[in-house]
Structure 1
Amino acid sequence: MNNRSNGDIRSKLALLQLAKELGSISRACDIMGYSRDSYYRFKKQYESAGEQGLRNLSRRKPAIKNRVPPEVEAQVIEIALDYPNYGQARAAELLTARGCTISPSGVRAIWVRHNLETKQNRLLALKSAMKQRQQGVDDQGAHLHEIKQDQMGLECRYPGDVVVQDTFSLGDVAEVGRLYQHSFIDAYSQVAHAWVTTSNDSEHAGQFLLEHVAPWYKERGLPMDNLLTDKGAEFFGSKSKAFQGAVAYLGCNHIHMRAYNGPVVNGIGARFQTLVWNEFYEPLFKTKRFDDVGEIQQRLQEWMAKYNQQFAIAGRYTLGKTPLETLEISQHLIPKRD
């Protein structure tokens, strides 16, 4: 999928997620610049075919009935244990966010085969699995568990409680080549940091975190307690050692969420990256050609300062205030550290 198509889908997904969070389709459409007719069309396409349905000319074939691949079945069972309170429709929505096309009835069929069709059975299966792993949950662990479970409406207690890092492909840019934006967003205040590089690898992700984000937080005495990422190679797995080292150095709890790239889970990252693409990159690349990443970097930082200081954000905690205003008035919520 090319960058234009990718950006279009991100924008549509962000509209659907924002409408859920605000509880107002009209407000979401005003913020995102869409009509109500467009919202209902996107919603219908998403409900019928998931993310693939939002492509303008999708040729993707639906899953053949009764021929669910083993890896999809494994994820359906995994969701039953990770989210035992979810019904079949919500589980199917989460699977769609992962890129797996399956209907609610398909989810139920798999659950029935594995005796997971009722909430009680799923909770018993989860309890058994946790007992086998001998997992003890203290107060902090319980909060981490809540963060993992409550992906539809992320609960944050204070600025720095939950922070999100993601990598966003900008595509090929003139003479510079392929570029990536490393993004970091505070889930409570929506204060954001961004950096452009020529690589999305673990070393660059770790360098962004250590050299560009952590000093800003340290200077202001702000915590970075729970760091959420997806399971991209730069964050998770054998190629993520540089990033994992940076996280360990900072003492963050690293939570690599399943399905993090979907519209349900990655609402924070998707909304910010859709905004920065629509408001900054797209107008910039239409009016000027670049042969040096440094100039793009400089302009991005100027735009980021404007975003944090001047953009009124309609969110659960911001309530129409700018990110820095939200941060300022919520300082008292941050627990005192020894």
Structure 2
Amino acid sequence: QVSSSGVRGVWSRHGLLGKHDRLMRLEKASADRVVQLNEEQVAALERFSPEFRERHIEAHHSGDLVAVDTFFVGHLKAIGKVYLQTAIDCCSRFAWGRLYTNKMPLTAVHLLNTDVVPHFEEHGVPIKTVLSDNGREFCGRPDRHPYELFLQLEGIEHRKTKVRRPQSNGIVERFHRTLLDEHFRVEGRRTWFETVEQMQEALDAYLVTYNTARPHQGRGMNGRTPGRAFLDRIPANDNPQEDNDQNIDQTEAA
């Protein structure tokens, strides 16, 4: 029988003293098929990780599924209520976010039209499906609701989470928790924001780091950044660089 101090010694050598670290390692081991989880471990990971709860959601390529949501940031004295519109590519975890003083269909459309769709178009990748909850900013009559109409015009399928089960959008839920821990709470302690534009500037800087410099430990990411994973998972027939590489190979062979 191993003593509690012996167990802590093993945890310490492997950098696993914190429960968060142990659960992160367990989730990665499960994703890499290194371990077979028992019922107790599955329950612990489902409590810990919204993303793990939604492990049945499959997105094999960039653009297969983009999850969107509205997040209430808070009520700031100098600004009032502030909401975050979020979108995240479920395959690569590449994320976008814009701050607004309301949560309306037009603000939800604005994020897609200004940031998300142009990014995919730049890389020649179509967005196949958008996943949202049943909030009024996302859902309504298909023939008149601005968000529904925008998706139709772009040829994007609209899937909704089950009613009264918003946690079924677990990937974006986990991203919100990361934003809270790494950005909003940190900036809230050291910066006095007087405008939404100032808040957006700080958020933009964080998102650059998140997408291009911060290794992601989510399922199937293997420590890659979302930006790297986005490029790696562009479908072969949608990847201009891969086509160029093939053309070069054929030319050299000739």
Q: Distance in 2 between matches of 1:250 and 1:289?
A: 39
For the 8 Å contact 1:209–1:246, the answer to whether it is kept is no
Shift in CA distance, 176/316, structure 1 to aligned 2, threshold 3 Å: same
- Cα drift, residue 157 of structure 1: 2.1
Point out which structure has higher relative CO (alpha carbons under 8 A, 6+ apart): 2
For the 8 Å contact 1:21–1:153, the answer to whether it is kept is no
Q: Residue type matched to 2:187 in 1?
A: L
- Cα drift, residue 330 of structure 1: 2.2
- Cα drift, residue 18 of structure 1: 6.7
**Quick check: 1:246 aligned with 2:150?**
yes
- Cα drift, residue 317 of structure 1: 2.8
Q: Distance in 1 between matches of 2:105 and 2:27?
A: 32
Aligned match of 2:87: 184
- Cα drift, residue 151 of structure 1: 4.6
Any idea what SS the aligned residue of 2:96 has? strand
Any idea what SS the aligned residue of 2:71 has? strand
Q: Residue type matched to 2:183 in 1?
A: F
Alignment of 1:7-22 (within 5 A): 21-22=27-28
Shift in CA distance, 249/19, structure 1 to aligned 2, threshold 3 Å: farther
Count the aligned residue pairs.
205
Q: Distance in 2 between matches of 1:18 and 1:267?
A: 16
For the 8 Å contact 1:202–1:235, the answer to whether it is kept is yes
Alignment of 1:39-118 (within 5 A): 43=44
Aligned match of 1:218: 121
Any idea what SS the aligned residue of 1:331 has? coil
- 1:114-161 deviations in whole A, cap 9, x for unaligned? xxxxxxxxxxxxxxxxxxxxxxxxxxxxxxxxxxxx954211121100
**Quick check: 1:311 aligned with 2:205?**
no
Shift in CA distance, 182/300, structure 1 to aligned 2, threshold 3 Å: same
Q: Distance in 1 between matches of 2:164 and 2:223?
A: 26
**Quick check: 1:283 aligned with 2:186?**
yes
Q: Distance in 1 between matches of 2:85 and 2:122?
A: 21
Q: 2:58 aligns with which of 143, 155, 163?
A: 155
Q: 2:96 aligns with which of 168, 193, 200?
A: 193
**Quick check: 1:320 aligned with 2:226?**
no
User: What's the % identity of the aligned pairs?
Assistant: 24
Q: Distance in 2 between matches of 1:215 and 1:166?
A: 19
Any idea what SS the aligned residue of 2:92 has? coil
CA-atom RMSD in angstroms: 3.3
TM-score (norm 1): 0.54
Shift in CA distance, 242/20, structure 1 to aligned 2, threshold 3 Å: farther
For the 8 Å contact 2:83–2:99, the answer to whether it is kept is yes
Structure 2: segments with no counterpart, 5+ residues? 1-19, 31-39, 240-254
- Cα drift, residue 331 of structure 1: 2.5
For the 8 Å contact 2:140–2:148, the answer to whether it is kept is no
Greater mean deviation of Cα atoms: 321-330 or 174-183:
321-330
Shift in CA distance, 284/151, structure 1 to aligned 2, threshold 3 Å: closer
**Quick check: 1:237 aligned with 2:140?**
yes
Q: Distance in 2 between matches of 1:213 and 1:246?
A: 13
Structure 1: segments with no counterpart, 5+ residues? 1-13, 25-38, 47-96, 98-149
TM-score (norm 2): 0.71
- 1:304-333 deviations in whole A, cap 9, x for unaligned? 011000111112331111001112222244
Q: Distance in 1 between matches of 2:198 and 2:81?
A: 15
Shift in CA distance, 236/20, structure 1 to aligned 2, threshold 3 Å: farther
For the 8 Å contact 2:129–2:158, the answer to whether it is kept is yes
Q: Distance in 1 between matches of 2:131 and 2:64?
A: 11
Runs of 4+ with >6 A deviation = 17-20
